[in-house]
Amino acid sequence: MPAPDGRPVPGPPVPRPPAAVLFDRDGTLVHDVPYNGDPAKVDPVATARPALERLRRAGIPTGVVSNQSGVARGLLTPADVAAVNARLDELVGPIGVWAWCPHGEADGCACRKPAPGLVLDAARRLGVDPAACAVVGDIAADLGAARAAGARGVLVPTPTTRAEEVAAAGLVAGDLLEALDLLDVP
């Protein structure tokens, strides 16, 4: 229907899948084990492997954007983080880019979610525009990082996700496959 002045009114945007999907690690791709530095404790959520396989079939690159404040706290080493990441790669298939922040909350860095640094870094390394990415996570900081980078965010709540985080999220999915449905991933 035209506008009152006769000009055409644009319709809703045509849904498109994202150029890349970036996942939070702990609580999103794997069951959260606080400050996990033990690869033997890596336990992917049930929909992690199927979701990543779906993205690979669709030709959509993937990445992980993860706060790892255990490094700043002296509870983990960078080698511990790398070992856990490598184990997840073994269990769910290769993830395109790993971007993680070793800082604590008080460090004031630009990478720790909800700051956009991890999302911007992962998008750059994947060769895509951050605004064409989606970030899937389980807490408000994940969605805040997406918003700050101009990306779309999808919340996949866990039992520890606060009710106010769910209420404030624009897109909420029951699991990772439903998140991909909301993002129009074929």
Residues taking part in catalysis? 24, 26
Residue 32 has a CB neighbour count (10 Å cut-off) of: 16
Strand partners, 155: 137, 172
Return phi, psi of residue 172, to 5°: -130, 130
Of 58, 60, 77, whose CA–CA distance to 68 is shortest? 77
CA dihedral sign of residues 176, 177, 179, 185: positive
Whole-number CA gyration radius for the chain = 17
